[in-house]
Structures are given as structure tokens and as C-alpha cells.
Amino acid sequence: MKGVVNIEDLRKLAKKRLPKIAYDFIEGGTDDEVGLGTNEQAFRQARIVPRYLVDVSVRDQSTTIFGRTYSSPIGIAPTGLAGLFRRGADLMLAEAARDANVPFIMSGSSTGSIEDLAKLAPDHGWYQLYSSKDEAISEDLIKRTADAGLKTLVFTVDVPEGSNRERNIRNGWGRPLKLSWATKLEALEHPAWMLEWLRHGTPYFSNWAKYAGPNASADKVADLVAYQNRAPMTWKHVERFRSIFKGNFVLKGIMHPDDAIRAHSLGVDGIMVSNHGARQLDNAPSPLHVLPAINEAVGDKMTVMFDGGIRRGLDAIIALCMGAKFVFQGRPTLYGVTAGGVQGAKTALGIFRREVDISMAQMGATRISDLGPHYLMWKDEEDLRRNRR
């Protein structure tokens, strides 16, 4: 995309296209939004110590998890309501991930369907599951994921209740939408988005249509999703869903080593260390702060992945050095697809790939498997001796 150099450029283009009510949904956190800064600042505080006199003329960032090798260690995390920001965005993101050979996790609040994802990106599509009040719906979604041939199911566990997202409250976000005249007038300043909204209306949650009754309207399906997704989640659900799904079973939202240990004991294949993009508990630590302890607890037993605050390729490298086997980001590719459709999402992934490659050269690493704590600034002499290679 012309003039786009980094993820920040894509964010500005996405903001220009969207009305405030939609942009704030992407960008916002909860309460005072301290957590948003916490996630990003954790990376600013980390320091990489480069190793020179290394031949870095050939570099390889391919990464293998769950028996599949991807071209880069950065995938696309689930981002709900992507179809509100650009119609068809979920499958556009899947196409971009497929072409870049990285995984894409379809949100449980997507407007694309599990079956369409499996047709478009069978080797790159994962599905995100939220617990439903009606457990028969959860079990059917799991069955559909398996029947479609998708090999990885991601059970998101860090939304026990809706959070206090004050930007959304002020904008009248909710079911039903209660838009002020100011909000409606501001939306008119974004004609491309407004035309799409007037033409198509409320995004249609395709995965949920069958549960809302015959010929259910988009609004009726959206009401069902809002109702069903406020459901209890316990370790019993983990055991049950693990027993049903025979593929790779991942828990997203783990933030404590003891929870990671328990997940492993129940046969979970992988965890994603994440605080839901700082959208649930405002004073939670950054996932980067807890990643080393979680990796120490279970890193040799299961696949530890990371999500939260990634805005640069170097951010991904820092998380990989701290123990993550793979990294996911959500907002950056959402900015991209909002701003430029499939090409915008591809641009975001290309930016990350280029930045990872340059950073590896600068620090003296030629393979992702080379990365580890020995590249991080040591805390004291004992730490230096432990990490010296």
C-alpha cells in the first residue's frame, strides 16, 4: 500500500475510514485503559543485547508448532466483529494468512463461517470458541470445527463477564445500539464505511445463524450471540471440550503458571498467554511480564504462545526470547484489513516479516530457534553467568 511504512501508518488509515464508534471499539480497553499502555510499555522496557561477528547473510524465520511449519512466527489473533469494520474482513484476514503461510484464528464473533474458513484456508485456519450458556451450541461448534477439517481449536477463557469499556458506553455501543445524533453525524464524515453500513446493515454472524431459528435476521442472530457468550467457564468445561475435540486444543487467556500447569494436566496441547488485549481487567500485568514464569513451568511440556501489545517485529522477537514458541497479534492486521482489505492485511504481515528479518540480522540470530534469554539484558552477574553462551 502506497505510503505505508509501519503498523502505525495502517492504524491512521483505519481511523480515517471508520466512524468514532467503530474505531473506539477496536482501540479501546477497559476502565482507565491503563492496561493498553502496560502491554505496549512492557516491550519498550525490554532490552536486546546484540551479538556481533556472526554471519547473518542467510536468515530463516520459519517456525514449527503443532507439527506444521509456518513462514513466520507471527499469526493473526481472533478479533471480534471484524466484518463491522470492512464487510467480509474475517475471510480477507484468512486469505492474507494463507498466502503468507501463517495461522489465522477465526473469532467466535466472526461474520465468516467455520465451513467457509475451512474451504479458503484449510491448513491455516484455527477456530476460537467461547463458552455458550447452552452447552449444546458449544459442542456443536466444536463438532463443526472438526468436521470441517480444522486442526486447532482455541478456547478463550479470559472473558468471565463483560468488562467496563467506557468508550463503548459513551458511544451508545450495545444491543440494541443507541446512537446519539452526534454519533450519527460524525459517522457521515466517513462515507465509504457509511455506504457499506447503509447497504448491508448489522453484520451477520454466520456461525450462529442455525441456532437463532429459521430465516433469523442479522439483529436476531446478534442478540443470540450477545446472550449466549455471557456464560460460566470452569475447568470442567476445559475437560469436556478437550474430550470432544481430538485435534490441537489451546487455551487462550492463561496468565498464571499454576493455571498453565493445570491445563497441561488435563491434556491441553497449548496455551496462549494473553490478557485479551487489555480489554477485561485494567490492572492485570502485561502478558510479557508473566510469560517467563509460565514458560519455566510448562515450556518443556506444551506449546506456549503469546498475544498482547505486539506492534513491531522486534516485539515478537522479545516475546520469543522470553519463551514463547509463537506470537499472535490482533489489532495490527485489523487496521490493515480495515484500511485496505486483503491487501491491507497482507501489508501488515509483510511489515512484521521485514522487521523480524532486520532485527534478527541486527542481533546476530539466523534462525528463530536461536532466540532465547541469552539475548536479553541480564539483571545481575548471576543472571549473566546463567545466560552466557
Active site residues: 276
Closest to 254 measured CA to CA, from 287, 231, 279: 287
Q: In this structure, how many other beta carbons lie within 10 angstroms of the beta carbon of residue 35? A: 25
**Bridge partner residues of 367 (DSSP):** 60
User: Is 367 strand, coil or helix?
Assistant: strand
Q: In this structure, how many other beta carbons lie within 10 angstroms of the beta carbon of residue 201? A: 11
**Strands (DSSP E) along 83-185, which ranges?**
104-106, 125-129, 152-156
Burial class of residue 313 (count of CB atoms within 10 Å of its CB; 0-12, 13-18, 19+)? buried
Question: Buried (b) or exposed (e) across 181-200, using 16+ Cβ within 10 A?
Answer: eebeeebeebeebeebbeee
Report residue 329: phi and psi, to 5°: -135, 150
- Residue 367 in contact with residue 56, Cβ under 8 Å? no
Q: In this structure, how many other beta carbons lie within 10 angstroms of the beta carbon of residue 255? A: 23
